[in-house]
Amino acid sequence: MRKSKLEAAETRRHIVKTAAAEFRQHGINGTALADLMAASGLTHGGFYRHFTSKDQIVKEACALAVASEVEAAELAVLERAGQSGVAAFAKRYLTTQHRDHPAIGCPFAALASEIVRSDGDTRAVATEGFLKLVDVVTGQAGRSRPTAARRKAIVALSTMIGALTMSRLVDDAELSDTILEETGKHLARL
Amino acid sequence: MRKSKLEAAETRRHIVKTAAAEFRQHGINGTALADLMAASGLTHGGFYRHFTSKDQIVKEACALAVASEVEAAELAVLERAGQSGVAAFAKRYLTTQHRDHPAIGCPFAALASEIVRSDGDTRAVATEGFLKLVDVVTGQAGRSRPTAARRKAIVALSTMIGALTMSRLVDDAELSDTILEETGKHLARL
DNA sequence: TGTACATCAGTGAACGCGCGTTCACTGATGTAC
DNA sequence: TGTACATCAGTGAACGCGCGTTCACTGATGTAC
């Protein structure tokens, strides 16, 4: 049954991608390795041919999910029409579409409480991703002394993550919509 | 070993209070019932004399934690000095003190991702609590047509929750402080 | 280029531990008379 | 008010399931000669 190196690498990538979606959908704790492997079309025994532990795939799946969020921000910034980068990204971020599809959405909104309690590697990956998001929406890279634009972006991103999270937490469809709409309007004004 | 009704009720309250802290500190999934009972000074067997399931104490502990957050908001609003209720609460909320003591802090910031995946009762309790917070910081009750002040409060609270969550998630002490400070300044301006 | 052997991706069973839940038991409290 | 019995808070052991991890095995791939 051995697969070629190329196929194996492809399988590995596929598992990480599946994990990134499963974790965001069901939570890290809510996703058993057997479930994850089944969702990848494999049996659970093979997991350890690719990863040394659940912690490792958590880290890699977070890295992938964060990277795809950064890409989404890049896309939004490219397609902005007169608006600031932050406003352009916020417009795409604070939607019912995003709220209702956590599996392909922002990992911070989907997993924040779990990432806080994850190991150092995962938190480091998440922190880097957050800073990358800041860079992208401000259109300027560099960790040095935070400019006004950077500081604004940090606040706006925190706001977006909080609002999306609360729009999912809340039981009341109308309130959920209101949270998204009002936060969207608020950020558009900046 | 039987205890009097009064003592039993007191024990029950004590367990819920301990749970509210343990859940916020270690997460819901991260807190085993045996740990929780040990933290309450009891053995785990007695748990089911007071509660029918873990879900039930999750709900009650969330209700208590949310209620105590509402009280904190009431206090902040009472002691406000010229500022708006929202600004007064934000000032107390976005502190390193709060960030570093999740066990006695906001349950939304500590548990949002887990509450999203909790059962209906818990989400209902959380939703009610959030609306109560909105009422308190705006100084006006009632769920009817949201006024401008209510809409502002909803955005501000989402912002606060997102910022505190991210300040805990992030790996970098300086960035963490920046998130709190800048979000604080931002909300003070409203 | 072909052949023999080593490697290793993937399978499916098994292990072992943690955790939610149950249970027999104790002895103090509550209650019926 | 006192007595006998039922109740039940709390204990500690046990149960059973889920889940992360390991392992023997298969057979295709990779490699040494």
Per-residue pLDDT of chain A (190 residues; tens, 9 = 90+): 688 788 889 999 999 999 999 999 999 999 999 999 999 999 999 999 999 999 999 999 999 999 999 999 999 999 998 899 999 999 999 999 999 999 999 999 999 999 999 999 999 999 999 999 999 999 887 655 678 999 999 999 999 999 999 999 999 999 999 999 999 999 999 8
Q: Rounded to an integer, what distance in angstroms lies between the CA atom of residue B57 and that of residue B34?
A: 13
For A21, counting Cβ atoms within 10 Å of its Cβ (0-12 exposed, 13-18 middle, 19+ buried), the class is buried
B92's torsion region: left (phi>0), alpha (psi -120 to 50) or beta?
alpha
**Residue A145 pLDDT:** 62
Structure tokens of A149?
């634009």
Residues 6+ apart with CB under 8 A from B90: B156, B160, B183, B184, B187, B188
Structure tokens of A145?
């002394």
As a whole number, the mean pLDDT across chain B is 95
Which residue bears the tokens 């349950």? B107
In chain A, residues with a C-beta closer than 8 Å to the C-beta of B111 are 113
Which is nearest to B86 in space by CA: B96, B76, B98? B76
Residue nearest to nucleotide D12 (CA to C1'): B45
Q: Rounded to an integer, what distance in angstroms lies between the CA atom of residue A126 and that of residue A59?
A: 9
**Residue B7 pLDDT:** 86
Check if the beta carbon of residue A89 is closer than 8 Å to that of residue A77.
Answer: yes
Check if the beta carbon of residue B70 is closer than 8 Å to that of residue B133.
Answer: yes
Check if the beta carbon of residue B46 is closer than 8 Å to that of residue B8.
Answer: no
Going along B28-121, which residue ranges are E strands? none
Q: In this structure, which amino acid lies at residue A155?
A: V
With 60 as the cut, is the pLDDT of residue B144 above it?
A: no
Q: Rounded to an integer, what distance in angstroms lies between the CA atom of residue A111 and that of residue A130?
A: 13
Range B99-119 average pLDDT:
98
Check if the beta carbon of residue B135 is closer than 8 Å to that of residue B142.
Answer: yes
The contact set of A with B (CB < 8 A) is: 26-27, 29-30, 108, 110-117, 120, 123-124, 126-127, 130-131, 146, 151-152, 154-155, 157-163, 165-166, 168-172, 175, 178-179, 182-183, 186
Which of A 30-49 have CB under 7 A of nucleic chain C?
37, 42-46, 49
Range B169-187 average pLDDT:
98
Q: Rounded to an integer, what distance in angstroms lies between the CA atom of residue B186 and that of residue B190?
A: 7
Q: How far is B123 from chain A (nearest CA, A)?
A: 6
**Residue A7 pLDDT:** 86
Q: Which nucleotide has the shortest C1'-to-CA distance from A31?
A: D19
**Residue B81 pLDDT:** 86
Which is nearest to B186 in space by CA: A183, A159, A136? A159
Structure tokens of A117?
């309690």
Q: Rounded to an integer, what distance in angstroms lies between the CA atom of residue A146 and that of residue A108?
A: 22
Q: Which nucleotide has the shortest C1'-to-CA distance from A9?
A: C9
Q: Tell me the pLDDT tens digit for each residue of B15-66.
A: 999 999 999 999 999 999 999 999 999 999 999 999 999 999 999 999 999 9
Q: What is the pTM of this model?
A: 0.95
Lowest mean pLDDT among A74-78, A144-148, B78-82, B101-105: A144-148
Task: Indicate the angle between helix axes B120-138 and A173-188, nearest 10 degrees.
Answer: 50
Residues 6+ apart with CB under 8 A from B151: A178, A182
Q: Rounded to an integer, what distance in angstroms lies between the CA atom of residue A178 and that of residue A181?
A: 5
For A78, counting Cβ atoms within 10 Å of its Cβ (0-12 exposed, 13-18 middle, 19+ buried), the class is exposed
Q: How far is the CA of B116 from the C1' of C21 (A)?
A: 25
